[in-house]
Amino acid sequence: MSYHAYIGLGANLGQPTEQLIWAVQQLQQLPQSQLLAISRLYSSKPTPGSPENQPDYTNAAVLLDTTLTPHQLLVQLQALEHQAGRVRIERWGARVLDLDILLYAQDEIHTSNLIIPHAELCNRSFVVLPLLDIFSTLTLPNGVKVASLAAARLFDDIEITADNTWWHSKD
């Protein structure tokens, strides 16, 4: 049986757009998974409480259909982050690539290394708006409509920088 998994993508070091393009290309090759949808590309300021003097972030979201379990998917995403050169030094610090499982089916998971829905999903427009690009009537496991979160947190210093074709290779 396969499940829908929504993945958040972000980067603010190096060449963020190119890194997200690379990440999408890698996600297209993920075992036991099929890439179904990709959001527009967004630019946003670092979240309040983040270490200061960081560059702006570039963010997007994708929808995967996968037979990987949530923990197997997490291992795959962390391997991609590592391959891209991510080093975890400080919480909410600048990063070359960040891949987060935002939602997995309608599951709620709370383990030492995985929380689904993503713990900060409801507080971040740079997550909510890309999710709405993919599925405008998306509902969280607790019944909250994602669209209501967008209305409450509308455009926290966020802007659309590209339509949903941004990830196509420019070869």
Query: Which residue is catalytic, options 40, 56, 65, 86?
Result: 86
* Residue 86 falls in the annotated catalytic set: yes
Q: Characterize 27-46 residue by residue with b for buried, 16 or more Cβ atoms within 10 angstroms of its Cβ, and e for exposed.
A: beebeebebeebbbbbbbeb
* Residue 95 falls in the annotated catalytic set: yes
Cα–Cα dist 117/35, whole Å: 19
CB 39 within 8 A of CB 133: yes
Q: Could you tell me which residues come within 8 angstroms of residue 146 by beta carbon, excluding any fewer than 6 positions away?
A: 128, 131, 132, 135, 138, 139, 140
Amino acid at 101: I
The strand pairing partners of 38, in sequence order, are 62
Query: Which residue is catalytic, options 40, 100, 124, 133?
Result: 100
Query: Which residue is catalytic, options 40, 65, 88, 95?
Result: 95
Helix ranges (H only) for 85-164 are 125-134, 146-152
> Nearest-CA neighbor of 14 among 132, 123, 97, 128?
97
Query: Which residue is catalytic, options 40, 98, 124, 133?
Result: 98
Question: Would you please indicate which residues are annotated as catalytic (active-site) residues?
Answer: 86, 95, 98, 100
